[in-house]
Structure 1
Amino acid sequence: MRTETDVLVLGGSGVDTIVHVPELPLPFADSYMIRPGIVTRAGQSGDFVAVSVGALGLRTHHLDMVGEDHEGELVRALHRERGIPFTTVLLPGGTKRAVNLVGPDGRRLSLYDDSRTQESDRLPEETVRKLAAVSRHAHVVITYPCAFALPLLREAGLTVSTDLHNWDGENPYHEQFALEADLVFLSTAALADPERTMRDIAARGRADVVVATAGAEGAYLLAEDELTHVPAVTPPEPVVDSNGAGDAFASAFLFGRLGGEDVRRCALYGAVAGAYACTVPSTRADAMSRAELLARAAELTSEI
């Protein structure tokens, strides 16, 4: 069957309300006057990946559960504006949402509304199979319904990536995603021993590559049993928000991987795109273009 999609993104749609705060952690007070204001915009992990890989020129399709509500329309509008095919399934509890507190240094604290999901939420098997049949690769967000889609993606023969975000290496919820993906991303933020967790994922699961991002310290790449440090890239502009940096890193890494680049080149792409994402205000869902990524990566390579 003809391949129509390079990256099928599953899950991770939602709406964020951005609140700029004077510092994090936020000291208790009766009230705060917020500038530059409080803004609600579409864009959570799956949305950011879909937007980012699309901006890099990869054919992208997004599948998720979304409510018939105002927030859902914001998410649909984002995909329409960016030209990203978006297959939606009704989420009875309403579109997922979160509040992001953003400090002056760009750090964030995210508060997720956990009341919108239900035990019975599922992505229809027929829909997953149909989209997987015409796709090269699937990036699976760790939202609850996506866990049930993993065997179907395997059945279709797709390679799979996932992002465990701030997994502590112990929570059993993340394990199925960690062990059934060929390419695993995660953050070092909650890990007591990042190398041990990375090697455990590789030893017990399918992953041939594990990447742990470490913010300003760069990232760590485990491939062919070798652990390599990936230096951070200096952002091209002042850092204003770290939200979406991990998704940008994963998207650019996928761009390189699907293009046949070696893993270190993929990691460089990820570092470049992650740094760029930190310069994008939290009120926007912008992504680095393919031309910008390749040009910046070429500059950095020439400097080595």
Structure 2
Amino acid sequence: MTGRTDTTDVLVLGGAGVDTVIPVPELPLPYADSYMIDSGIRTRAGQTGDFVALGLAALGLRTHHLDLLGDDPEGDLVRALHREHGIALTALPQPAGTKRAVNLVGPDGRRLSLYDTSRAHPDDRFPEARLRELAAASRHVHVTITQPCAHALPVLRGTGVPLSTDLHDWDGENPYHEPFAFTADVVFLSAAALTDPERTVRRIAERGRARTVVATAGAEGALLLADGELTRVPAATPPAPVVDSNGAGDAFAAAFLYGRLSGEPPERCARYGAVAGAHACTVPATRAEAIGRDELLRRASEPGR
């Protein structure tokens, strides 16, 4: 990679969209003909790629986001979010419309997400020349598991730029996730659907390219596999009451990548991730807000936090 001039720290690929957030009295939500939502139903920009990009930018990293967006009100919300936070955005046209979802959020911060899969086509692709250009100008590429990104993996691997991905609530078996898991250099995933998290993270490292795999487990912390060594990472103490877990995994990934690109060892990167994830759980689902660098470094240095 000698002779290159990086203009971007992290290129975030895919995962742009809009969520409609509905606070509900409990999850699972018992059947009823109707519910009165006194706290309001709100629609805001922010899906996994948006939140990773937001987290990276808040930590001072030069961030560029590439995805397909519709010429619709949802797409306008995504564009406005990036303008507001100074995040470079390459928005390719998506005739099917901007991705959208409905999030039901319980009083304890848990959520149930309903994704509108009609706003995508099997032949959705990122133009190869543009993809190569943006990747070549970046120190790192974070790839979401949306469908166009699956087709982008061979092109990205050929650029030689380090890759990361988040498998979210993968069960360790669904074959759709495997190309992402076995192509990336850094793999994040939730342990929520795993019967044996240690076995899964080791399998990812053995079958793929990743030397770093992180399985997050909410209040139970995370499992970090780095260069063959397994470490339990304790959860960080949230700085305020937990109101919504949406975006916690994205915040963890962004802060971990900040540490990695700053030259920190994996254990320190995971500590950053835990602090950022805990912060994200205190942010209401109706807001798009990420922890800043100074606050992250301060909290990560506090003992017992």
Number of the residue aligned with 1:289: 292
Q: Deviations over 1:80-120 (max 9, x none)?
A: 00000000111121000000000000000000001111111
In structure 2, C-alpha distance between the alignment counterparts of 1:157 and 1:224, rounded to whole Å? 20
1:189 to 181, 192, 197: 192
2:164 is equivalent to residue 161 of structure 1: yes
Distance 2:38 2:11 in 1: 37
Corresponding residue SS for 1:86: strand
State how far apart, in whole Å, the 1-side matches of 2:302 and 2:122 are. Answer: 49
Distance in 2, Cα, partners of 1:69 & 1:280 = 27
Q: Output the TM-score relative to the length of structure 1.
A: 0.98
The answer to whether the aligner puts 1:209 opposite 2:212 as a matched pair is yes
- Which of 22, 27, 47 aligns to 2:25? It is 22
For 1:83, give the aligned amino acid. G
Equivalent of 2:106 in 98, 103, 106: 103
Residue number in structure 2 paired with 1:57: 60
For each residue in 1:193-218, what CA deviation from the matched residue of structure 2 results, as whole angstroms up to 9, or x when unmatched?
11111111000000000000001111
Q: Which moved more, 1:124-133 or 1:148-157?
A: 148-157
Distance 1:205 1:156 in 2: 17
Give the TM-score, by structure 2 length.
0.98
- Tell whether 2:147 aligns with 1:124: no
Residue 43 of structure 2 is aligned to residue 67 of structure 1: no
Query: What CA distance in whole angstroms lies between the structure 2 residues aligned with 1:120 and 1:153?
Result: 18
Which position in structure 1 is the counterpart of 2:148?
145
Pick aligned residue for 1:115 from 115, 118, 125:
118
Runs of at least 5 residues in structure 1 that lack an aligned partner in the other structure: none
The answer to whether the aligner puts 1:44 opposite 2:47 as a matched pair is yes
How many Å separate the matches in 2 of 1:98 and 1:128? 26
CA distance in 1 between counterparts of 2:146 and 2:208 reads 19
Aligned position for 1:230:
233
Matches within 5 A, 1:196-275: 196-275=199-278
Distance 1:127 1:80 in 2: 21
Unpaired segments ≥5 residues, structure 2: none
Which residue is equivalent to 1:177?
180
Q: Pick from 128, 133, 156 the counterpart of residue 136 of structure 2.
A: 133
> Partners of 2:252 and 2:154 in 1: how far apart?
26
Structure 1 vs Structure 2: percent identity of aligned residues? Answer: 71
Instruction: Tell me the alpha carbon deviations over residues 7-53 of structure 1, each in whole angstroms, 9 at most, x when there is no partner.
Output: 00000000000000000000000000002110000000000000000
The CA distance in 2 between the partners of 1:119 and 1:12, in whole Å, is 16
SS at 2:279's partner residue? helix
| CA offset digits 1:123-174 (Å, max 9, x no partner) | 1101101101110000000000011111222222100000000000010000
Aligned positions, number: 302
**Deviation sequence 1:37-85 (CA, Å, 0-9, x none):** 1000000000000000000000000000111111001000000000000
Instruction: Decide which of 5, 10, 19 is 2:8's aligned counterpart.
Output: 5
Across the aligned residues of Structure 1 and Structure 2, the Cα RMSD in angstroms comes to 0.9
SS across alignment from 1:148? helix
3-state DSSP of counterpart to 1:165: coil
**2:279 is the alignment partner of 1:279:** no
CA distance in 2, matches of 1:35, 1:25: 19
Asked whether 1:93 is paired with 2:93, we answer no
* Paired residue type of 1:233: A
Whole-angstrom distance in 2 between the partners of 1:212 and 1:234:
18
Write the letter of the residue equivalent to 2:93.
L
Structure 2 counterpart of 1:84, one-letter code: I
